Structure 1
């Protein structure tokens, strides 16, 4: 087939298929079940391919597929997705129902290679690149991916001896109470000092460890050593904090996992309520009955459970109801976008509200700025973790943080409920005039010349009244205040404009987005009176009287 493709014949694509986490089936369900599953999958692939294509078993859990690219053949990556969908179909191997996924690499002949061995090498390199990006993916070969494949080959040779050679290290990152900035937990983070590649984070080597099956041994090492460190801190008198440890899908699929966790806690001498296991969403989609039983049993023993990186995984909302979860952790990609990103803000607020409705605590991951912190605090997020409070650190440095107990106390200090007025206008001379006008009335004044700055000020300050220009370059005043209403519904919102679009203004007032529309040029005394009335309106709201 390769010869035909290189001699002006029909071009060819070669797909290298690796079945994700297949080793766990052999370990947990038996080799006979694994062999039958592969036989069923082989027949399924051959039927999906048709008579012109060929499929071979390659190694224990890998397949090679060669497909002539005749007219009408789907594009390479689309064709790979079609095969991946075949792999994902439920498979019955009594007494089990299996849910497999596959990672695929695609190489083209003659574009990428013109000999069988080099074409196979390119397809394998593309598959390794897909594994590096997260598995259950299809990737077309690109020449730079070969570098990653070579480094993965080095990792595969060295990771199996990492524990024996004492190359693994544990780091810790503080988790902060949203009320007062107190350190209430430490997440345990793994690092590997590779002799050839240097210090590596888990994203760089865990996919290889999963493929080789050594992730179970590494996970057990992390559990036991994290618990031992927690005992040291407990002996120092810190018995009111939690130690969080990430657990892999393969660990959860082990029938002995619950006993392994309990044994590690007993060996370290720490109580179950001190332990939090962080589980990724996609783990809940694997053999749901087994994972459900495992998590439920751990929960009954008193171990706390966190659903990690919520919003980005493969699981659905049903997992929040079905599984015994105490906390959900908002993925850092959403936290990074607040408060300026519409989508990120909406999803973050929805996750917080949903978590609280289900009786769960919500922790925000990846908090890096005071603006993010202020927004999350105002929206009732319960806990924070991120570089704003400390990067992953050694056990010695983490112990020093525990002794301090409170981080960024300035950001959590109670503030006097001043009358705070936010002014927004993209004309600097008008903004300065408004600041001078209202300063005499004793307000705490915040001024912004663009919408982005205004959102940052709202995130980090308790603002009661907002006065915004209507015609601005980045967003209209009514549009800005409409978004503010969703984020900070208790604020009193006014528009000041020299341009009157009655339809837009009337619609915004009817929707409750603005409290009042005022015109330029203004009368100083009248404008000051409008703002005084706005503060009075705010203070007469039921929520304000209840806390007065």
Structure 2
């Protein structure tokens, strides 16, 4: 029994194996030896390709296939199927183990450590099986049922062995199903492009459109790129898809340019496989020339993991494109495994903060710290920074206050057709109310988890003409700080979710120009002294308070803020 290496075309490989399988199925249906067909899906295999590299993944699959052949070829027909899947057909003669026992032996073999230097991999596999003639009487149905058995098993968990059950829930979008459908998707015109606006964080103006690919498969439904692009790369069809995308996007850019949008950029995602092609630079430049648009209108978005590939080839490709005027964005920044040295070597104009970090701001200290660090680092390296996945006004306010340059996300619109995107461009500015000039009046934030005290403080300071914001919990306070230019903060010390000094310590990191005061009925001298020494609070005030004295403290706080502001401006 011969194992076919990964590099061979998967459809041809499947076809030759099906021919041999057909004889076994015919014999079983005719009353001969019954058959058990096993579909094996290696669990979480994509993480190996992404974290250790495709070369490690290729070798791991080759070694796994050889292991299965060495162990089971005397009893069964074995072949690769799809990207990281195997199929095993076992005649159920008198000497064969039961299908369940054989499936468990397959699973146990997969679990043995696999040495791919310098790594030792510990894999697991989910095994689905279908029986002939009990479950199916033809090759196609038998293959489908075995694959569906894997999907049914995954509703319970991973690393299981399960037989196909009619009517049980299945996953119609497994990698092997995708592989079968995607080969003809281009010829059948199943791909479509959508466009999502990119916004200037200063004034809300639409300055770019990112092209996003969607596959409208009659069999699988609508799929986003993350669901099928890794399969397209392994099958090699990514080159044809990428070439089609470039030509379509550049042609659309020409239409928008002819309509007067000559200051617009169009962003296109490119894969590592495209960048590794020696002809890729010429392909991009030829497409730009054919569309009749300036190179500066084009932005190629490259995932951060791409920098960890063959750096010399990728570096030459990106450098050549950049010299020709093509602009480059490093996508999903913070999620890849590139290092700062490689980032400085590459000619990148913008870095895009991954949406996972934006989701947590401003309430998660970890995501806040990472987002702020990326913005600062990008600016230090002379790059613009774009935040991806902006969905709320709070996130918008936080990013603007921390000097992010560009924004993208559902807050400004989902990905839409080219015609709908044209309507967005004609509006020019999105969510104008969120970008209105910040009023110069004095803004005071009051935080206390006791509602009666909070109301009393609001009434007290209202007479002084401040623009007052009040919050009864820390999360609401962070939201208000993210969306408003607040100069002075007065916080209670003892609160249920966080102490006042801890809250103001975090505020100092996020909004260092604020003046921060604590108002508390409890005095913890050690905590207060430490907070003052670290510069986290301006003053510590006690309850109960004298109205006139408290109002005077707040007036002095605003005066201190204005003095600091003048010093920063060199006045």
TM-score tier after normalising by the smaller chain length: 0.7 to 0.9
- 1:458 lines up with 2:458 in the alignment: no
More deviation in 308-317 or 250-259? Answer: 308-317
Residue 149 of structure 1 and its aligned partner are, at CA, apart by 6.3
Matches within 5 A, 1:300-319: 300-319=323-342
- 1:366 lines up with 2:389 in the alignment: yes
Number of the residue aligned with 2:159: 140
Change (3 A) 1:105 1:228: farther
Structure 2: unaligned runs, 5 residues or longer: 1-39, 48-54, 89-106, 136-142, 153-157
Q: 1:266 aligns with which of 289, 296, 299?
A: 289
Change (3 A) 1:393 1:78: farther
Contact 1:495 1:517 in 2 (8 A): yes
Change (3 A) 1:546 1:286: same
Number of the residue aligned with 2:298: 275
Residue 148 of structure 1 and its aligned partner are, at CA, apart by 3.2
Residue 192 of structure 1 and its aligned partner are, at CA, apart by 1.4
Contact 1:16 1:65 in 2 (8 A): no
Change (3 A) 1:459 1:406: same
Residue 207 of structure 1 and its aligned partner are, at CA, apart by 2.5
1:454 partner SS: helix
Contact 1:243 1:275 in 2 (8 A): yes
- 1:377 lines up with 2:400 in the alignment: yes
Number of the residue aligned with 2:492: 469
Residue 205 of structure 1 and its aligned partner are, at CA, apart by 2.1
Instruction: Give the TM-score, by structure 2 length.
Output: 0.77
Number of the residue aligned with 2:188: 165
Contact 1:538 1:544 in 2 (8 A): no
Residue 504 of structure 1 and its aligned partner are, at CA, apart by 0.6
| 1:211-261: CA deviation from partner (whole Å, max 9, x where unpaired) | 221111111111100000000001111111100000111111111111110
Number of the residue aligned with 2:315: 292
Number of the residue aligned with 2:232: 209
- 1:225 lines up with 2:244 in the alignment: no
Number of the residue aligned with 1:536: 559
Give the CA RMSD over aligned residues: 4.1
Matches within 5 A, 1:29-44: none
Contact 2:113 2:123 in 1 (8 A): no
Larger radius of gyration: 2
Matches within 5 A, 1:34-433: 58-59=79-80, 83=114, 86-87=115-116, 89=118, 106-107=125-126, 140-141=159-160, 147-148=170-171, 151-433=174-456
Contact 1:17 1:102 in 2 (8 A): no
* Distance in 2 between residues matched to 1:43 and 1:497, nearest whole Å: 66
Contact 1:15 1:123 in 2 (8 A): no
Change (3 A) 1:15 1:410: closer
Change (3 A) 1:278 1:40: closer
Contact 1:17 1:63 in 2 (8 A): no
Instruction: Give the TM-score, by structure 1 length.
Output: 0.80
1:494 partner SS: strand
1:148 partner SS: coil
Residue 316 of structure 1 and its aligned partner are, at CA, apart by 2.5
Contact 2:151 2:170 in 1 (8 A): no
- 1:448 lines up with 2:467 in the alignment: no
Change (3 A) 1:255 1:415: same
1:147 partner SS: coil
Change (3 A) 1:392 1:468: same
Residue 152 of structure 1 and its aligned partner are, at CA, apart by 3.8
Number of the residue aligned with 2:518: 495
Change (3 A) 1:480 1:40: closer
Number of the residue aligned with 2:544: 521
Contact 1:170 1:188 in 2 (8 A): yes
Structure 1: unaligned runs, 5 residues or longer: 1-13, 22-33, 67-75, 91-100, 130-138
Residue 314 of structure 1 and its aligned partner are, at CA, apart by 2.8
Number of the residue aligned with 1:437: 460
